[in-house]
Chains A and B, each alone.
Chain A
Amino acid sequence: MTQGLQSIAFEQSPYVVSSASVVGKKEGEGPLGKMFDMVETENLFGEDTWEAAESTMQKEACLLAMGKAHIDKEDVRFLFGGDLLRQGIATSLGVEQFGIPMFGLFGACSTSGEALALASMSVAAGYGDYMLAVTSSHFGSAEKEFRFPLSYANQRPLSAQWTVTGSGAFLVGKKRSHVRITGITVGKIVDFGLKDSQNMGACMAPAAADTIERNLKDFGREPDDYSRIITGDLGYVGQSILFDLMRGKEIDIKKNHIDCGMMIFDQNKQDTHAGGSGCGCAASVLSSYVLPKLERGEWKRVLFVPTGALMSTVSFNEGASVPGIAHGIVLEHC
């Protein structure tokens, strides 16, 4: 089952039984707008605070995912979830009502990969028939915590990214479907010493390069063995750096690489500079765009690599650099 240095190849691959994506207004107006399961134009989602809105998104995404698979919350053995906020509060308050035993995670924007990896490992090891993996991000709550209050008047640099208001929930289990998770590559923290919190793509690209290279080596594959290599939110700047880093490793992924952050917004019309970011970015794009293509067989095998920037507001003020992490999930049509 263990594969290479950092990977696992599942002997009995778990299935992605169902998934759901819930997003906010701006995402609904983007290029993938029509593909999301739920688009809420009221960014408060009927709540009083951005944090509560984010919790509601997670709750809705889980309900939709379970609904699509026609199972109840009692059928789900464990839930793996996380978000960007301090102490993972959006997740805790979001999934609390389901009463599913849960593991709270932090992987910054790579949380969807971390949750899917743990959920699939648990199913493959026989610890349960169904596991939920869920994550979210919200522009309002993230800006408030990491950057500035929303009405603060500032100019964003061109390398800045737009935190996606969105959530993705994935039901991983033994029930047959058309998509399996056949392997995972667990990422390690990679820090090239960058201290620019307004250039997340550059901070995370080294981690993405490291995990992609590790995945290819562990599984003995070439980039062409994947229909697509999909990073979470490197954005325009990060993608360019990723290509250079990979070329330095003599690996060319230019032909089949796409990035969720680049796909979720229209850079020109929506003024999102370097692209979308946040846990909800990779998760919602995976659910709404990538999985349907795998289900239809349009893509046979993809490597999903959400990336995270592991900084805190304190670490940044104290002059620490911004390390990155990226997890690789191998998804196959079956």
Chain B
Amino acid sequence: MDYINAFWVGGLICALAQILLDRTKLMPGRVMVLLVCTGAVLGALHIYQPIQDYAGAGASVPLAGFGNLLWKGVKEAVDKEGFIGIFLGGFKASAVGISAALVFGYLASLICEPKMKK
């Protein structure tokens, strides 16, 4: 059951983002930023977490889920450490994602060469 929810919620978020890509002049970079910020804001408004509880990876895997993750990290850090938590929480929560992307991306550059598109 949770696979079906993950599939359709994740798919829906992607389908909506496709409208932005095809019908507006927004470049992929801007769409990614919009998704992360929207996820953070919806997280703060207590809207994103219920969606994530329902859809699991369908909400956590899209970049909006990354935004929600950033928000949750900051909130927990503020609850625990007060003011300094505002600076502490974001990177702490996103550490796995950013480290993994950086490390694996860099390792890939050591192994592969750029290839032409067909």
Contact = CB atoms under 8 A, between A and B. Distances in A.
Interface of A: 24-26, 43, 50, 139-140, 143, 149-151, 154-155, 165, 196
B25 A151 contact: no
Given A50-B114, A139-B117, A150-B115, 13 more contacts: A24-B116, A25-B116, A43-B116, A140-B114, A140-B116, A150-B114, A150-B116, A150-B117, A151-B114, A154-B28, A155-B21, A165-B116, A196-B25
Contacts of B114: 50, 140, 149-151
Report whether over half of chain B's contact residues are helix, strand or loop; otherwise say mixed: loop
Contacts of B21: 155
In the complex, which range does the number of interface residues on chain B fall in?
Answer: under 10
A66 B84 CA distance: 71
A151 B21 CA distance: 19
Contacts of B118: 26
Interface in B80-118: 114-118
Contacts of A149: 114
A165 B116 CA distance: 11
Contacts of B115: 150-151
A143 B115 CA distance: 12
A150 B116 CA distance: 7
A20 to B, nearest CB: 22
A46 to B, nearest CB: 14
Interface in B9-29: 21, 25, 28
Nearest to A270: B118
